[in-house]
Structure 1
Amino acid sequence: MSDHAIPHFHNQPGLAKIRVGAKEFMCIGALPPCDHPHVYIDMGADDEAICPYCSTLFVYDASLHGHADPAECEAPAQAA
C-alpha cells in the first residue's frame, strides 16, 4: 500500500487555471457523473501541467500543501 494518498482535483467551476499544492495528482474533470477518465498528472521538474482531457492548467504552489486554490476544486473522497 502507498504511504500517502494522491490528491484528486476537479474543475467543476470551469476555471482556466487552478493552483495546487502537489506535483502528482489526479484530475477528474468535472464532478461525477460528468467527470472524465481520471488522469494521473506528474509535473516532474515543471511548475505547470495541462490536463489532456479538460485542458485545465494546474499551477504548483508549495504553500498549498496538497490542497487547491480555490479549495472547492478538491474532489470529495466519494468522487475520487
Structure 2
Amino acid sequence: MADKGTPHFHNDPGVPVIHVGAKEFMCIGATPPFDHPHIFIDMGSDTETVCSYCSTLFKYDPSLKAYEARPAECVWEPDDAAVAAR
C-alpha cells in the first residue's frame, strides 16, 4: 500500500454500508468541496467501524483489494491538481 498511499473512501451515494478491502483508510465523507476533515480509520482486529464525522458504516471485505470498495463509486482518487491545492 505504501506505493499509492492510504486509500480514501466517500459516501456521495448515501449508501448505508461501504464494503472496503482495507482495514486502514481515510474517510472523507463526500467528494470535495463538500468533504469533511479526512479521518484516518484503523479497524484493527475488528471487521467494521463507523466514521465519527459522517456515521458511514464501513465493513471489511477480504475479497476486495486494498483500494477497492463496494459500491465502487465510493473510492476517491484525487487528481494531482486537487492534491496540490490542499
TM-score, length of structure 2 as denominator length: 0.85
CA separation in 2, counterparts of 1:45 and 1:12? 27
CA separation in 2, counterparts of 1:41 and 1:3? 16
Residue aligning to 2:71: 70
- Deviation, 1:76, is 2.1
RMSD between superposed Cα atoms in Å: 1.5
- Deviation, 1:65, is 1.1
CA separation in 1, counterparts of 2:15 and 2:53? 14
TM-score, length of structure 1 as denominator length: 0.91
Over 6 Å off, 4+ runs = none
Give % identity: 61
CA separation in 2, counterparts of 1:30 and 1:74? 10
CA separation in 2, counterparts of 1:70 and 1:14? 11
Q: Secondary structure at the match of 1:72?
A: helix
- Deviation, 1:3, is 2.9
Give the counterpart letter for 1:69 in structure 2.
R
Tell me, which stretches of 5 or more residues in structure 1 are unaligned? none
Length, aligned pairs only: 79
- Deviation, 1:77, is 2.1
1:1-16 to 2 correspondences below 5 Å = 3-4=2-3, 5-16=5-16
Tell me, which stretches of 5 or more residues in structure 2 are unaligned? none
